[in-house]
Structure 1
Amino acid sequence: MSAEDHEHHEHEDNYERAYGESAENAPEAVDDAPVAYGYWRSLREMEAGTATKSDGNELPPVPQVSDPLSRRNFFHLMGASMALAGVGACRYEKEEIVPLARRPEHQTPGQAQTYATAYDLGGVGHALLATSFDGRPIKLDGNTEHPFASGSIVPSSNATRHAGTSTFAQAAILHLYDPDRSTTPITKAGGSTIDAVKVALAELRKAGNIRVLSEGTSSPTVRELQRELTGKGVVWHEYESISWDNERLGTKLAFTRSVRPVAKLDRAETIVALDCDLFVEHPAALKYSRDFARSRRLGGTLGLGKMNRLYSIESVFSHTGAMADHRLGLRSELGLPFALALDAALGGGAAPTSAFLKEAKIKKFLDVLIEELQANRGKAVVVAGRRQPPEVHALVARINEKLDAVGKTLDYIEDPDLDRPSHLQSITALARDMQAGKVETLVIIGGNPVYDAPVDLDFAGALAKVRTTLHLSEYLDETSQKCTWHVPKAHFLEAWGDCRTWDGTVTIAQPLIAPLFGGLSSIQLLALLNESDRPADELIQKAHTTLNATGNWKQHVHDGFVAPAPPQPGTFAVGALPPPPLTATQQGASLLDKGVEVTFHYSPFSYDGRFANNAWLQETPDFLTKVVWDNYALVGPETAKRLGIENDQMITVKVGDREVELPCHTIPGQARSSIALVLGGGRTAAGRVGGGGTENAHSVGWNTNKVRMSTGFEIAMATSVTAGSGYTLASTQEHWDIRTGLKPSITQEGIAQRLPELIKEVTSVELATNKTWMAEPHQGYWDDQHVNDPSKRRGFSLFREKEYTGHKWGMATDLSTCTGCNSCMVACQNENNVPVVGRKEVMQNREMHWIRIDRYFGGTPDEPQVFHQPLTCQQCENAPCEQVCPVGATIHTDEGLNDQAYNRCIGTRYCANNCPYKVRRFNFLDWNKEWREARNKLRRLLFNPEVTVRMRGVMEKCTFCVQRIQNAKIHAKAVRRSERPGEVDAPLPDGDIVTACQAACPTEAIIFGDLADPNSRVSRLHADQRTYDLLPETYTKPRNKFLARVKNPNPKLTPPKAKAEAKGGH
């Protein structure tokens, strides 16, 4: 590890953590042999054959605080404090009050308002609703009225519409109030002004020979400005490091022009994802997640008793692979011969002769898949991912045509950017001209090509050969530092804009706050370059006159989109496809092939590096690895063993003559002979969080772009992989294990037997034919589990149980539709002012998230299954935490909420010790101390004013968004009084209260409501036969119940389960 790049990654001396080595003796899966499926959380646990290693304590040992105070210094400070106590207590801190001289129309002080807006990510638009509190935006959610972004999981005409969001959308608020954003234009000679920028742009127009390099965009207004500029001689280029251009090029091969496929997962009975993450990474992930959930529900869009079946073929575990009924771990480079075999079996071209297709496991998987696809013509769809080459996407188009999917489970729409070259072609041509000295002026709109352009293009060196360069960006990043001019870019919540969602719906972005740093939007800068100083909203209106839209401009702004929304799907026929050539590796490949492929994957922490300075994202655990604050190389256990590398070890990956050093993380399910490199790390000019900035902060992670070249941009072959020194990744995968409380009383074997009680699953056939399936896993732990009807179970409490006569708030979580996307976690952090603690504190079990998503593996390390379980405060009616608090800081309300009185809490942590679910969080330090510093004054605008900001020494946990409950009740009473004077009580219609996690969930896996209303959706879910409590033997009577996960496996690919023996384990 070089000292220059990785000095910041030295181990903390007082903390040591060991994952296990690779599973050397993992049992092999045998076809048609009974398999006893166990559950485990990490490879180390799987190897040991026991539960997670722990000393049995429910609370981790308290490590030394970050700022230890000696006894001598304590008395010095106490003496000074006592001397100043009288002076400090004389008066309150001075505050400035700036009242409004005139109240704005339709605005009530202290009352939140919502506005429709949108943002563009990677050239695809996403519709949002922004919540503004007294003029400052504080929360983002999905636009529930948008035709593409919203819908209902329940197939009913009167069902409430829902729109989820991604983690990137939820975290954009923190990005807005980031004090590290650029505040002023800068030239190489020093500071500048916006007026100086306008003068400079006028001079550049006169000089001519201008090139524009834009980040990916779907804005119709930008496209109109592009058309006008190219008519004046400006040459336009566009580049995104994470691009779906392989799909565009593939459809062009199939149809002679590029089109955009839009899958209809709510109509598909069989879904095949070929190296494609439909639910998080895909540009239409939110839509696909919702549609998948609609057809995943028994009695959903497919009809009574039917649900879809999902097949996933991929190299690295994705959210789609985790949800799949059947998953095949396969190197990404083998996607082409696999698609050829599928196409040939359905009547396409000649079948490939690749060796790996003849191996028993692959052959059986392929034969069963082909048989099902042929049986479900018109009811199946195949989707390929962005890493697959254009030839694969062309084959997939022909496969879908053979399956009669077009118009039924798949639509094609015209590509909005029909004539645009691919991003890789565009930046390669630009870099070549820059190196040749053919470019005199380059205007870069967004993006960061110095950091993420293919390394063999040497973009930084080429940029130095251009006489005048200007970069519009939100940060003074790596590219801006190399340019003649840097211009601060306005955040999408500060400027007018527009974009297109994946289906082509034109969506409007309106500003909610004046630019905090006086920046310009892309539209404004391009307008200046086009000799126009017209306001951005006028330019957008002008561009929209060509859309033949109905309605007026104000209506479009109010709704957030232009109607009629999407263009009509076209009819397309696949032409003749030339047989794609296979490499020698693809022809002779075996699952045990000695070669190692390298694939590049987006980062859940920073996307492609652009969000590296966002602490919310950096501290959100990856859905699979549970790693935070670092990127890494993912390696399978068997591959790691063959290469001689171990978990938590630095490795050097060499591709061609380039190499990068980064930590290795071994993970079950990773395809053999395949290494996945996560992008987005190693930024040197991201800010104080992500690296660089005014304080020269150390980089977070490693720059994997060092081995990403224009050839092998998505899939490359490693020249060598060598092991280095050790390195401990910060991971939460073994934190807050609710099984630790069981250890003092039972054996490790007994704990493993109890795990099926935590993560229940059932097949669709079992659910339909066996009404008592819930009682079958009983191991003698709790006799009443034999009774499937919760009302007949016995339970006893030493305390008098409370009777609830009013509202009874409850929640239901459907494990069948939870994809583990983490949106609920970031939404909760935003809504409830949950602090960030940093990498070092996470390693000491001090993370503060109110929601965690427990991830369990099932099966073997070679062919594991993945299970997600979102866990938050269970709002127990017989809450153990309330019984041990010595000061009554945690109490029960008349509506059944387990409330926390922060000003009473003295920090004994008895409540956390007595909580069987491990969902309480303690403020070991004052995490918000830095936010009170002058430089972070801006960030304080982010806080939700309806939620208390907690201090050091205080316990906190989920409140079921009590502030939203109270707001709904107040609003209902106000409406009631106006309609019926004298009546105080007002009913709350089901769906009026939506918690932050529920609003963010794309699949509506989380449902909140009033259990006192027997017709509410949550009441109906609580009465569902799949519903169960966590740890029912504790008799806590949780208000948050889970619905067992339902899978729909193909019987021909499912080995019979070995029936578990009944053991007490006590």
Structure 2
Amino acid sequence: DTKIDITELRAKLEGSTGPAYWRGLDQLADTEEFREFLHKEFPRQAAPLDNGLERRDFIKLLGASMALAGLAACARPPLAREEVVPYVRQPAEITPGKPLFFASAVTYGGFAEGVLAESHQGRPTKLEGNPDHPASLGSTAAQTQAQVLALYDPDRSREVLAGGQPRTWEDFTAALGTALGELGAGGAGLAILTENVTSPTLASQLNAMLLQYPAARWYQYDTLHPDNVVAGARAAFGTEVVPVYDLSNADVIVSLDADFLDFGPARLANARAFGAKRRVLTASADMNRVYQLETTPSVTGTLADHRVPLKPSDVAQAAAVIAAEVGASAPAATRPAGLSVDVLAALVADLNASRGRSVVIAGQTQPAAVHALAHAINEALGNVGSTVRYVANPSARPAIHAQELTELTEAMRDGSVTTLIVLGGNPVFTAPGHLQFSAAMRGLRFSAHLGLYFDETASIAQWHVPKTHFLEAWSDARAFDGTTTIMQPLILPFYSGKSEHELLAAVTGNANASGYDIVRSHWRERVTGSFDEFWRESVYRGVIAGSASPTLSVTAGATDLELPASGALEMHLVFDSALADGRFANNGWLLELPKPITKLSWDNAALVAPATAESLGVTTGDVITINASGRNIEAPVWVQPGQVAGAISIALGFGRSAAGTVGNGVGVNAFPLMADGVTFSGTVTATNTGRRHKLVTTQSHQNLEGTGEARFIVRSGTLADFKAHPEHPEFAHPVPHHYADLMPDFEYNGYKWGMVIDQTVCTGCNACVVACQAENNIPIVGKDQVAVGREMHWIRVDSYFSGGIDDPTFYSQPMPCQQCEKAPCEPVCPVGATVHDSEGLNVMVYNRCVGTRYCSNNCPYKVRR
């Protein structure tokens, strides 16, 4: 590999000899490998068919997609003696070929996002957002779109296991009964570990269990749970509240390392409200203004009007300085060097000029002190009640999960906990390295794990019970604002799965209870009036009417929280945009999905700034050792334009050893660097190992030689430019269009379909990429094939940069199939797989395709696969 000279690149841009828009450092460096790649539309490595891809690997990668495509009858018979018979009379609600939609919800960190699940003849095939649910408003994230693949994953846990050996549910309940009988008085020694619980039914069950076993303990641990949000609210208000933002009222947004458009329980609602204020349709319209203070480029940061790269500790210092400037109580702080005097003055002036119409948002990985400062700033600016309000924490028992996991580990180690039941989650993998949670768990008298996969925690537990997918189970959950959804299944469990409700019922002596009866009984006891009417309406709509939490009146007080100390080289841990904390690590759609900024696929990397790469003497692909207080990991380097100097960012969720056939051994596990589960940053050291690692990125796969000089690929302008020429802004059509054509136009006798992508509000989140993959069941190809340009996505989101490499401007440009009237992919297909339908759409007949890839070679946009 040719190493890139950062100093030479910086000089090249400063001398204005580089392109106005560029897609990566390899393009700027104009290396020999990049030129060779560019001279051909596809690299020569993609040509040979005999490339060592073994049949076993092919089947492994295709597994879940084959299941999704091929299962025509997905529900196992509930009893072996029942016979399958054809319909004598077709049910009125089922029409072959016509889908049905059912309201439900998917949870992330315990918080619900409403979905409408599409079903064909009893088989779930697609998920869409529920427009009536406040957390989705009709939209979905990439992870939600990929949940259907997880349902059909052949690697899912299939049976009850004891010590890795198959057992039955009856065997487990018998062993559980014996273990419960050996507990001390009042159930002393019993511990239940759950993820974040917002389910009213599960919370009621847990409380009933604690009444039955008063000496037992209930712990929670979920790495996606916003511990710092909870701690910051406690410090500021002395009570359990969470902020709910209304970005549609915000003229000025200041983000303190918060990727609020792509992460968190309100991400979809935030994106919808943000877009409403960002979208400009007339010359009289105004836009919001965003200041993004962050360490590593994020989805939100790419849309910011002013992006300020800061080290993690400097974000806290900047928050304190801003608080003091607007009249809020704040500890003494010094303006960080990365926040210039001019930008700080402009930021403060905008906040003061927009009192009551501005908002300050703190990121979930920022310490509690930053959250408390954000609350104080919003209160000082009069934003409470306009752009931010406070509601009771939707969690059933608000807690600092990292502290609870520490307490549980110590209790297991000192013998006060002898029996542990883990209801979901994977704490053996996600626990901070220094806790040695797995060692403590091995010493228990009895341990059981409920999980979707036989993962790292299952391999330590004495018993493992397969968990139902959310599309197979009845449950309920609350959204970020308290709105409650009754979650209904679409299909019987494929395997012998149990839900959290059913396993907890077994703990309290009712091993045969069904999830349906448990959830229904809970709500029957709490509803006045006609219960059947309440049940039908709530299940049908996907929300319980009037269940949103009321706004609370709270006042921020002074806090004594300390600001984090600065270090020469700081660590910055982030949740992966696709895999989160690793819970989706066996989902091939998400593993192959290019990251929003780096376009990395099938890997994570240590992101460093060009200046940091120079000081460490490394470049992209070099493997470094990162040391945090004696805890080491090795990770490949990715030199990222826009990354702040003096900080290394690395995504969590990779490096799994028991994820499944697809996800095992992908990337590097960064959890050992986490000190306590709350702190996502700290001082580290880094040294070059001298080894190299191949990182695969799709960023330069569709570069075509000469296109940058021939026409403007990226088009952008300012609001002032638009207002000067609202009908025909120069930046929108800088090159005249030529419509003359020798070929006749397609004749539309009915609909003429069209689609517009508003790039002013497009976040580049990649949800559309996975949605297209789910709709068409597009297969994954694996890391080696992505490396040679064989990824199969029909939509991609290109990233472009302009300016210097240290702090560039970011642009995201979606590139879908253009639905060409005279589609060049059609005449070259030897089997007629790509054709026009009667309404003029460029469609694909999948069972004709033989994989010649002529369509891709002939597609000028390089999206037809």
Of 183, 205, 212, the match for 2:180? 205
CA distance in 1, matches of 2:3, 2:249: 43
CA distance in 2, matches of 1:103, 1:116: 23
Are 2:288 and 1:308 aligned? yes
Are 2:582 and 1:609 aligned? yes
Are 2:514 and 1:535 aligned? yes
Change in Cα spacing, 1:388 to 1:28, as seen in structure 2 (3 Å) is: farther
Cα displacement (A) at 1:188: 2.2
Cα deviation 1:287-309 (Å, max 9, x = unaligned): 10111111111259xx9511111
Partner of 2:41: 58
Mapping for residues 170-249 of structure 1, pairs under 5 Å: 170-188=145-163, 190-206=165-181, 207=183, 208=187, 209-231=189-211, 232-233=213-214, 234-249=216-231
Cα displacement (A) at 1:345: 0.4
Of 260, 275, 282, the match for 2:264? 282
Mapping for residues 807-822 of structure 1, pairs under 5 Å: 807-822=751-766
CA distance in 2, matches of 1:420, 1:561: 22
Partners of 1:598 and 1:674 within 8 A in 2: yes
Change in Cα spacing, 1:108 to 1:669, as seen in structure 2 (3 Å) is: same
Are 2:713 and 1:758 aligned? yes
Are 2:167 and 1:167 aligned? no
Change in Cα spacing, 1:752 to 1:67, as seen in structure 2 (3 Å) is: closer
Partner of 1:557: 539
Partner of 2:667: 701
Change in Cα spacing, 1:276 to 1:390, as seen in structure 2 (3 Å) is: same
Q: Which amino acid aligns with 1:141?
A: E
CA distance in 2, matches of 1:465, 1:887: 62
Partners of 2:449 and 2:461 within 8 A in 1: yes
CA distance in 1, matches of 2:708, 2:433: 48
Of 843, 848, 860, the match for 2:792? 848
Cα displacement (A) at 1:436: 1.1
Cα displacement (A) at 1:63: 3.4
Partner of 2:127: 140
Q: Which amino acid aligns with 1:173?
A: V
Cα deviation 1:798-825 (Å, max 9, x = unaligned): 2223443422111111111111111111
Change in Cα spacing, 1:892 to 1:213, as seen in structure 2 (3 Å) is: closer
Partner of 1:673: 646
Q: Quote the RMSD (CA, aligned, Å).
A: 2.8
Of 102, 110, 132, the match for 1:115? 102
Cα deviation 1:22-71 (Å, max 9, x = unaligned): 355515999xx9999821111122244999633422233243324679xx
Partner of 1:84: none
Partner of 2:693: 727
Q: Which amino acid aligns with 1:642?
A: S
Mapping for residues 540-689 of structure 1, pairs under 5 Å: 540-544=519-523, 552-578=534-560, 580-582=561-563, 585-586=565-566, 595-689=568-662
Change in Cα spacing, 1:818 to 1:389, as seen in structure 2 (3 Å) is: same
Change in Cα spacing, 1:521 to 1:732, as seen in structure 2 (3 Å) is: same
Partners of 2:411 and 2:417 within 8 A in 1: yes
Partner of 1:26: 10
CA distance in 2, matches of 1:195, 1:566: 40
Change in Cα spacing, 1:261 to 1:776, as seen in structure 2 (3 Å) is: closer
Cα displacement (A) at 1:879: 3.2
CA distance in 1, matches of 2:477, 2:759: 34
Cα displacement (A) at 1:216: 1.8
| SS of residue in 2 equivalent to 1:250 | helix
Partners of 1:264 and 1:291 within 8 A in 2: yes
Q: Which amino acid aligns with 1:363?
A: V
Mapping for residues 448-459 of structure 1, pairs under 5 Å: 448-459=426-437
- Structure 2 residue ranges without an equivalent (≥5): 54-72, 74-82
Partner of 1:1058: none
CA distance in 1, matches of 2:525, 2:354: 42
Mapping for residues 470-549 of structure 1, pairs under 5 Å: 470-532=448-510, 533-544=512-523
CA distance in 1, matches of 2:287, 2:32: 35
Cα displacement (A) at 1:451: 1.0
Partner of 2:312: 332
CA distance in 1, matches of 2:526, 2:320: 40
Cα displacement (A) at 1:328: 0.4
| SS of residue in 1 equivalent to 2:236 | helix
Partners of 1:116 and 1:558 within 8 A in 2: yes
Partner of 1:736: 702
CA distance in 2, matches of 1:121, 1:575: 31
Change in Cα spacing, 1:105 to 1:440, as seen in structure 2 (3 Å) is: farther
Q: Which amino acid aligns with 2:803?
A: G
Cα deviation 1:935-976 (Å, max 9, x = unaligned): xxxxxxxxxxxxxxxxxxxxxxxxxxxxxxxxxxxxxxxxxx
Change in Cα spacing, 1:361 to 1:381, as seen in structure 2 (3 Å) is: closer
Cα deviation 1:507-558 (Å, max 9, x = unaligned): 1111111111111101111122122343322322343357668851121111
Cα deviation 1:162-184 (Å, max 9, x = unaligned): x1111111111111111111111
Mapping for residues 286-365 of structure 1, pairs under 5 Å: 286-298=268-280, 304-349=284-329, 352-354=332-334, 357=336, 359=337, 362-365=340-343
Of 374, 378, 403, the match for 1:400? 378
Give the TM-score, by structure 2 length: 0.90
| SS of residue in 2 equivalent to 1:813 | coil
| SS of residue in 1 equivalent to 2:235 | helix
Cα deviation 1:741-768 (Å, max 9, x = unaligned): xx3xxxxxxx54456x222112111111
Cα displacement (A) at 1:412: 0.5
Q: Once structures 1 and 2 are overlaid, which stretch shifts more, 719-728 or 545-554?
A: 545-554
CA distance in 2, matches of 1:546, 1:894: 55
Cα deviation 1:230-264 (Å, max 9, x = unaligned): 22322010001233110111011111112110110
CA distance in 2, matches of 1:328, 1:28: 23
Q: Which amino acid aligns with 1:916?
A: P
Give the TM-score, by structure 1 length: 0.74
CA distance in 2, matches of 1:471, 1:663: 33
CA distance in 1, matches of 2:396, 2:495: 36
Cα deviation 1:594-641 (Å, max 9, x = unaligned): x11111111234211111111111011111111111111111111111
Partner of 1:827: 771
| SS of residue in 1 equivalent to 2:49 | coil
Partners of 2:265 and 2:480 within 8 A in 1: yes
CA distance in 2, matches of 1:136, 1:447: 26
Partner of 1:424: 402
Cα displacement (A) at 1:838: 0.8
Partners of 2:394 and 2:481 within 8 A in 1: no
CA distance in 1, matches of 2:525, 2:714: 54
CA distance in 2, matches of 1:763, 1:51: 36
Cα deviation 1:991-1022 (Å, max 9, x = unaligned): xxxxxxxxxxxxxxxxxxxxxxxxxxxxxxxx
CA distance in 1, matches of 2:523, 2:308: 46
Cα displacement (A) at 1:131: 0.9
| SS of residue in 2 equivalent to 1:563 | coil
Partners of 2:636 and 2:693 within 8 A in 1: yes
CA distance in 2, matches of 1:711, 1:443: 21
Change in Cα spacing, 1:807 to 1:678, as seen in structure 2 (3 Å) is: same
- The percent of aligned pairs where both chains have the same amino acid is 38
Mapping for residues 750-829 of structure 1, pairs under 5 Å: 751-754=707-710, 757-771=712-726, 774-775=729-730, 785=736, 794-829=738-773
CA distance in 2, matches of 1:565, 1:299: 35
Cα displacement (A) at 1:192: 1.2
Partner of 2:77: none
Partners of 1:45 and 1:51 within 8 A in 2: no
CA distance in 2, matches of 1:910, 1:211: 60
